[in-house]
A and B are shown apart, each in its own frame.
Chain A
């Protein structure tokens, strides 16, 4: 703990501005994944809990430290996995486009044909 409070406050202040600037325009589709992803990032408190448990002595410190590491592991691991699950849904995006261009190709037959004539036969 040789680092002075002023240095730490400097880092804090700059990080606050970066945090504010880095996410400027988020489409609403991504609000939840972003929340979940940043939730995972604060799971890095695990690093702090590890240091705390490493030189804990006495039952009280050991138990608190153990719980802290456990909770932080849940946060960081679960956070990244759950975010990845949410975002998995987005990777399907490129698929429909090639699929649709195939459907419009001549070999697509009846289904593709009628899909390209919306509002045709019906009143």
Chain B
């Protein structure tokens, strides 16, 4: 090493830029975890990624002579793939409805896992035969298996959220045995691949990885899928880190590991917000007790349903009204009308606040985002912890398309799948109004006793229509 001459090569420059990119990603994550820095954090991340991609065109792999490689063809394919990816992703991401965000994230996560698995397996094809260290093979297998689990798991998560398949947990006889068998088969084949470095065996491992992703996600109930996506996101991070090991890329290792580690922490925070532990979400086949719970619920019990005018009067002459939004509000895009109703009530001197359950809707923070879009005054938004002490002094709780997040079974029925989840205590309010499309149970698939409570009034229909009718009713009351 000589200190007198400057040995700064293009390779050093590229590595230095990659280091700055890695720092950019750390800053991006830091920004994303605080409300003020979130948007800037995301832009820093995007900018850093762009720099890294541009810099990669200077990689020796782009031009170093290798027998049988036509760099022109490869570069052309690369650009086509990148343009194609951008042309598909941008409109998809821009046009997706707010309600469909989580499944969009699931897709983008799944393809990332798939890409990481493909990197690992393609590098494996390039390995010189017979001279590969066992740990290099292990890195490849890790990338392939974890990437495949993330890919197929995300696909099933997407199908569940998009309602292409049932959101209920899918269970079948011998499920545990089958899972154990697939796990054991993968373990055995991993060892076989390590010993033989055989491509066909690795392909079988790949296929089993895809199977594992599917059977891992099937028994997880729809309401828990956002937490699952966060976990799969973390998996993809680890798969990317593994492909970073294979390629000897510091950047991929840092970026993948950052996501892997922070993703697991985030997953735990999310499950904590739902009042459940992560193993409970993953392995309890959430809702396998559903049938028992809903049988006791019975279908033919009377419910009280009211006209918009009745309910309008109730609201107009209340002192304090809590609006409790849920997924129904999001589906109906009713946030603006909800605000209109709140404003109309406030103009009559009614104290109105929104009680936000942290996991109402299909993703944590869903309601805050929707209500922010409708410019709801910030001081009217109350998180569940602030809202619950107010409930006993609240005259009317207006539940707009929420169900599981206000279901008292979470407090009273130890056998219930949502038992232990914190809820908004609307049952403590003077009267409860449910705006619902039907008596169908919520996402968790369990009956809500509160619907049959004498102090509950139902108003059936689309949340937006119902709210609109209530606005007119309050105005004429």
Contacts and interface: CB of A to CB of B under 8 A. Distances in A.
Contacts of A97: 378
B189 to A, nearest CB: 20
Contacts of A47: 52-53, 56, 249, 251-252
A97 to B, nearest CB: 7
A61 B69 CA distance: 11
Contacts of B46: 40, 80, 84
A72 B109 CA distance: 9
Interface residues of A, number: 98
Interface string B238-268: 0011011101111111111111111101100
B253 A30 contact: no
Contacts of A67: 81, 114, 118
Contacts of A121: 348-349
Residue picked from A39, A81, A85, most chain B C-beta under 10 Å: A39
Contact of A39 (B64, B96, B112, B320): B112
Contacts of B121: 64
A122 B118 contact: no
B158 to A, nearest CB: 13
Given A41-B28, A44-B52, A65 B93 contact: no
B52 A54 contact: no
Interface string B95-121: 010100110110111011011101101
Nearest to A81: B93
B25 interface: yes
Contacts of A45: 112, 115-116, 119, 240, 243, 252, 255-256
A71 B38 CA distance: 26
A95 to B, nearest CB: 6
Contact of A73 (B30, B35, B84, B116): B84
Contact of A78 (B104, B254, B350): B104
Contacts of A51: 56, 59, 61, 247, 249
Contacts of B112: 39, 42-43, 45, 71-72, 75-76, 79
Contact of A37 (B29, B111, B118, B245): B29
B469 to A, nearest CB: 21
Nearest to B18: A47
Contact of A29 (B241, B250, B365): B365
Contacts of B300: none
B42 interface: yes
Contacts of A20: 261-262, 265
B265 A37 contact: no
Contacts of B56: 47, 50-51
B147 to A, nearest CB: 9
A79 B368 CA distance: 21
A75 B108 contact: yes
Contacts of B71: 54-55
Interface stretch (B323-331, B369-377, B407-415): B369-377
A33 B366 CA distance: 10
A38 B262 contact: yes
A17 B261 contact: yes
B449 to A, nearest CB: 26
Given A64-B122, A82-B93, A31 B375 contact: no
A49 B202 CA distance: 19
A100 B52 CA distance: 44
Interface in A1-60: 1-3, 5, 8, 11-12, 15-20, 22-58, 60
Given A48-B119, A50-B53, A86 B237 contact: no
Residue picked from B56, B82, B245, B348, most chain A C-beta under 10 Å: B82
B68 A57 contact: yes
Given A80-B42, A90-B372, A73 B266 contact: no
B273 A28 contact: yes
Interface of A: 1-3, 5, 8, 11-12, 15-20, 22-58, 60-62, 64-93, 95-97, 99-100, 111, 114-115, 117-123
Given A92-B372, A123-B319, 14 more contacts: A22-B262, A27-B34, A29-B365, A30-B34, A38-B262, A47-B52, A48-B249, A68-B119, A75-B111, A77-B85, A77-B90, A79-B112, A93-B372, A114-B349
11 contacts: A18-B261, A19-B262, A22-B33, A29-B35, A34-B33, A38-B262, A48-B116, A52-B122, A82-B93, A88-B39, A89-B372
Give 3 closest A-B pairs by Cβ, nearest first: A73-B85, A19-B261, A78-B89
